[in-house]
């Protein structure tokens, strides 16, 4: 009889879903409860896990939540098989003995050390792109291990079906062996009876009985050959059964290893997701700080433009004041030159009139006194004008110093304003 493939039902159920339509119905996926999944929901989820290829998290809005939803559903799907896994492990411990337990413990230690290394690696401070790439790799590995677990489960079911078929065949062979033994005993009884009958009637039916005896002996030899062949078949079946048992143990080992690796990758995925969230928070903080600094820079630029305009206006006013002072100085210099020329002319006229006649001296005495008074007045006016010019020059120097001081104060005020805003 041909053995039925246990995976054929699963493959048939997977083929029920049309691959041309959208594979993931997110409304249906959100309506599921990971802790209470039905058999048809599990089959559909397994089909989705095998065919769904998630894009990059940044390419689609809400993809991170969808990936988290698929992760929760995958965890629920594997936890729903927890009782089957426990039964398989208990049977494995019963049949594998102490050596298998030690081997599993050693493999668990190795897997735990690998998980610790992966956790340390995920906490070593990667940027956002590396964390996203690592999450995608973890998702691919999770998908691969899910495929492997499904394949292992199908192989275990197939091996169980083969084992049951072999056990049924062994039972039928044992029943046939018992029936053959009964038939051999009956033939032996018939042989004994025939020998007795031959002894009783040797003369009459010796040839007939001998022929019958030969036929019976030939029949016995054939039955013995059949029994021997059945025993060999039973041994082969037992060897095949032992091989199937070993295959079942190996498949359970691989299933346990794949489950442990999925758990470790799940932990790494969660830690990587947390690191990505921390990096996103840091990026948002840096962006807000950058926006604040940009605002301060714009304010500083506007203040600089306003100060430059004030400096230009102040410079124009200073230039205008300087030009007006220069014009006044030129006017004062012209007046001084004119007064000096008049003073020189008056002194020359006074020297010419000193040697005049007596009457003229008497008259000139009064006029000379007037001239000296005029000279003194003019000298005093010239002195006052020179003092005014010197005062204007001092005012010009002081104004120039005040302009430089104002520029320095404005620059310091701008720097202090920027520093204060930055500290705020």
- State pLDDT tens for residues 299-344: 888 888 888 888 788 778 877 877 887 787 788 778 778 877 877 7
Q: Is the pLDDT of residue 215 over 60?
A: yes
Provide DSSP, 143-191: HHHHHHHHHHHHHHHHHHHHHHHHHHHHHHHHHHHHHHHHHHHHHHHHH
The arithmetic mean of pLDDT across residues 240-261, rounded, is 83
pLDDT of 340: 74
Residue 2 in any domain: the answer is: no
**Strand runs (DSSP E) across 266-381, as ranges?**
none
Residue 395 in any domain: the answer is: yes
Residue 279 in any domain: the answer is: no
pTM score, whole prediction: 0.27
pLDDT of 47: 76
Question: How many separate domains does the chain show?
Answer: 1
pLDDT of 9: 37
CA-wise closest residue to 146 among 5, 252, 10, 46: 46
Which of 53-67, 111-125, 394-408 has the weakest average pLDDT?
A: 111-125
Q: How confident is the model at residue 220 (pLDDT cuts 50, 70, 90)?
A: confident
Residues 6+ apart with CB under 8 A from 73: 29, 32, 34, 37, 45
The arithmetic mean of pLDDT across residues 170-189, rounded, is 68
pLDDT of 1: 34
Q: How confident is the model at residue 265 (pLDDT cuts 50, 70, 90)?
A: confident
Tokens of 361: 């001296």
Residue bearing the bigger pLDDT, 115 or 410: 410
Residue 414 in any domain: the answer is: yes
CA Rg value for the chain: 59
pLDDT of 58: 52
Q: Measure CA 75 to chain center.
A: 20
Residue 336 in any domain: the answer is: yes
Greatest mean pLDDT range, 39-48, 55-64, 163-172: 39-48
Which of 40-49, 69-78, 214-223, 285-294 has the weakest average pLDDT?
A: 69-78
Chain position carrying tokens 């021997």: 228
Residue 397 in any domain: the answer is: yes
Mean pLDDT of the chain: 69
Residue bearing the bigger pLDDT, 357 or 382: 382
Domain that holds residue 384: 295-423
pLDDT of 234: 78
CA-wise closest residue to 259 among 51, 68, 79, 121: 79
Alpha-carbon dihedral of residues 317, 323, 326, 332, nearest 10 degrees?
-90
pLDDT of 18: 40
CA-wise closest residue to 183 among 220, 133, 209: 220
Contact 214, 206 (CB under 8 A): no
Residue 384 in any domain: the answer is: yes
Residue 340 in any domain: the answer is: yes
18 phi/psi in degrees, rounded to 5: -80, 125
Residue bearing the bigger pLDDT, 286 or 69: 286
50/10 Cα distance (integer angstroms): 13
């Amino acid at each position: 009889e041909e053995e039925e493939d246990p995976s054929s039902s699963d493959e048939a159920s997977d083929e029920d879903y049309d691959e041309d339509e959208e594979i993931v119905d997110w409304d249906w996926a959100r309506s599921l409860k990971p802790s209470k999944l039905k058999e048809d929901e599990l089959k559909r989820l397994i089909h989705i896990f095998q065919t769904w290829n998630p894009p990059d998290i940044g390419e689609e809005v809400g993809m991170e939540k969808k990936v988290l939803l698929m992760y929760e559903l995958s965890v629920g799907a594997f936890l729903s098989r927890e009782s089957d896994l426990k039964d398989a492990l208990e049977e494995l411990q019963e049949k594998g003995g102490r050596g298998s337990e030690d081997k599993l413990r050693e493999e668990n230690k190795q897997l735990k050390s690998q998980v610790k290394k992966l956790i340390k690696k995920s906490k070593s401070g990667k940027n956002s792109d590396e964390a996203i790439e690592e999450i995608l790799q973890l998702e691919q590995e999770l998908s691969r291990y899910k495929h492997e677990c499904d394949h292992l489960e199908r192989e275990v079911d197939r091996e169980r079906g083969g084992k049951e078929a072999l056990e049924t065949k062994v039972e039928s062979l044992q029943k046939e062996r018992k029936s053959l033994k009964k038939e051999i005993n009956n033939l032996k009884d018939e042989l004994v009876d025939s020998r007795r009958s031959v002894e009783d009637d040797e003369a009459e039916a010796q040839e007939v009985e001998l022929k019958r005896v030969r036929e019976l002996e030939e029949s016995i030899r054939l039955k013995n050959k059949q029994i021997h062949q059945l025993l060999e078949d039973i041994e082969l079946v037992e060897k095949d059964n032992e091989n199937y048992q070993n295959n079942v143990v190996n498949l359970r080992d691989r299933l346990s290893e794949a489950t442990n690796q999925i758990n470790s990758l799940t932990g790494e995925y969660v830690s990587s997701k947390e690191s990505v969230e921390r990096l996103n928070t840091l990026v948002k903080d840096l962006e807000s700080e950058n926006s604040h600094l940009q605002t301060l820079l714009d304010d500083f630029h506007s203040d600089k433009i306003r100060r430059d305009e004030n400096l230009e206006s102040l410079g124009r006013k200073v230039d205008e004041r300087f030009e007006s002072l220069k014009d006044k100085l030129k006017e004062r210099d012209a007046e001084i030159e004119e007064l000096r020329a008049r003073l020189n002319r008056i002194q020359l006229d006074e020297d010419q009139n000193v040697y005049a006649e007596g009457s003229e001296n008497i008259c000139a005495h009064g006029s000379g006194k007037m001239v000296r008074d005029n000279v003194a007045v003019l000298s005093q006016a010239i002195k006052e004008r020179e003092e005014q010019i010197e005062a204007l020059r001092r005012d010009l120097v002081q104004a120039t110093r005040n302009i430089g001081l104002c520029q320095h104060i404005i620059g310091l005020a701008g720097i202090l304003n920027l520093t204060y805003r930055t500290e705020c």
